[in-house]
Structures are given as structure tokens and as C-alpha cells.
Amino acid sequence: MIIFYSQEIRDGVAKLIDDECQHCAKVLRKKIGDKVFVTNGQGVLYSGTIGLISKKIVEIVSLTEIERQETPHKIGIAISPTKNIDRFEWFLEKATEIGITDVYPFLSARSERKIIKPARLEKRIIAAMKQSKNLFKPTLHPLMSLKEFFSYDEDLAGAHKYIAHCMEPESALQKLYSSGSDAVVLIGPEGDFTEDEVSLAASNKWQEVSLGKSRLRTETAGLIACHLLNL
């Protein structure tokens, strides 16, 4: 089953634009009257037929809801983008497949990558969402400093907050986390957090946790944290 993604679904019509339009009309060579599937990225899957194909828009009409997934609990990973952007994109892809709701890229003292391209990252997220049939598109939040992230209270309200680091924290994430509850895990850069950053997190009521005995790459640590919150 090939699934398309549309941000414009209303009155029984879905509009495919940009890459989704090109994929449907140019790559897959779909024709008017063909039956297709489309999601709004908010948990709903529709079937419909193609009613219009133009250079910039494909319209899917006569939409019928065929599946509605339950709203997931918050599984957020705050992560410092890796120097090699391919590794960060790999994390986004696999975390989307497993089931993540929010990604919070941040810059800390030892971050090596200072710039990301949200539009490119969104494409990887959308592709992974469609491939995995997870009908909720994860939210990629703006890149911010670690201090800015700690003041991001409105979005994090009610979630359990953990910071994973390599300074031998006493508790393992899987022992502290209650299954099914909202949670966000902080993952540092390759050089880990500084002691001052860990202290700042603790002062903001983030619990220190371990992800195991091995020293993990940033993207691996992020994926393990995502997996543990899904178990």
C-alpha cells in the first residue's frame, strides 16, 4: 500500500502539493480515476480517487476514512544534531518508524553541528511515516539552545523529563519510566554534556538516567531512548 501525505484535507478532498504531487503524478504516473490512500499525519487514513492532476496539485476526491489510530502518548527526544547530518537523518527516520511524537534539536557546549535544514529533515520524517504506516507525523521543533529548551515549559508540561549522560547516573531509564506516560529524554552531543549542563538540567527538575553500560553514539542513544519509551 502506497500512502500519500496531505496537509490540506477538507470537505472530502485532499490536495497533494510539492514532492507528494510529483511523486504521485510523475514518479508513480497515477491517472485520474485511480484509487489511492492518503493520511493527514494526525492519525487518520483515507481512501479516495484522483479527480484532478495539474503541474502543482493532485486532488483526491470522494475520501472515505478507513483507519483511525489512537493518539499516542508523548514520546519526545531532545537531541543535539550530529556533525555528520546523514546520521541525524537516520535517527529521524528510524525513530519515526518506531513511533516518536516530538523531536527537539538543540545546541549545547559541545555540539559540532550548528545548522540544520528543517525542510530536508521533514522530507525524511514524512517518508518514514508513510513507509511505516504510523499515521501520526512527528513534530520537528525549531533548533534552539539548551537554555532555551529548558524554558520550553508549555510544550513539556506534564511530561516526565530525563537527561541521559555518561557520568554514571545511578538510575536506568527503563527503571524510572512508567509505561504509557508522556516523557522526553535529553540526548547530548558526541562529547556528552558538560557537568554544568547536567547541573542545570537537575535544577530544572530533569532526572539523570543511564541508557546502559556501553558508550553510545548520539543517534544510537536517541534511538534506544525512543525504543525504551515505546516498550
Separation CA 135–CA 43 (nearest Å): 4
One DSSP character per residue, 201-222 reads: HHHTTPEEEB--SS---HHHHH
- pLDDT for residue 159 is more than 70: yes
Query: Is the model more confident about 159 or about 156?
Result: 159
User: Is residue 168 very low, low, confident or very high in pLDDT (cuts 50, 70, 90)?
Assistant: confident
C-alpha neighbours within 13 Å on the C-beta side of residue 152: 24
3-state secondary structure of 66: strand
At 20-41, the pLDDT tens digits run 999 999 999 999 999 999 999 9
Separation CA 221–CA 191 (nearest Å): 13
Separation CA 104–CA 46 (nearest Å): 29
One DSSP character per residue, 106-121 reads: EE-TT-S-----HHHH
Nearest CA among 62, 119, 61, 85 for reference residue 219: 85
The residue extents of the domains of the chain are 3-68, 75-230
Tell how strand 102-107 and strand 44-53 pair up.
Answer: unpaired
Specify whether the CB–CB gap between 110 and 218 falls below 8 A.
no
The C-alpha cell at 203 is: 535544577
At 86-103, the pLDDT tens digits run 999 999 999 999 999 999
Superfamily of domain 3-68: Hypothetical PUA domain-like; domain 1 (2.40.240.20)
Tell how strand 160-164 and strand 183-187 pair up.
Answer: parallel
Specify whether the CB–CB gap between 173 and 231 falls below 8 A.
no
- pLDDT for residue 54 is more than 90: yes
CA dihedral 109, 198, 86, 177 (to 10 degrees): -170
- Given this structure, which CATH class describes domain 75-230? alpha beta
Separation CA 143–CA 83 (nearest Å): 15
126-130: which pairs have CB atoms within 8 A and are 24 or more residues apart? 126/5, 126/41, 127/93, 128/92, 128/93, 128/94, 128/96, 128/97, 129/5, 129/39, 129/41, 129/96, 130/2, 130/3, 130/4, 130/5, 130/39
- pLDDT for residue 155 is more than 90: no
Least confident of 10-14, 31-35, 51-55, 149-153: 149-153
- pLDDT for residue 152 is more than 90: no
3-state secondary structure of 104: strand
- pLDDT for residue 153 is more than 70: no
- Enclosing H/E stretch for 123: helix 118-132
At 196-221, the pLDDT tens digits run 999 999 999 999 999 988 889 999 99
Nearest CA among 218, 62, 230 for reference residue 134: 230
Percent of the chain with pLDDT over 90: 88
Mean pLDDT of 100-116: 96
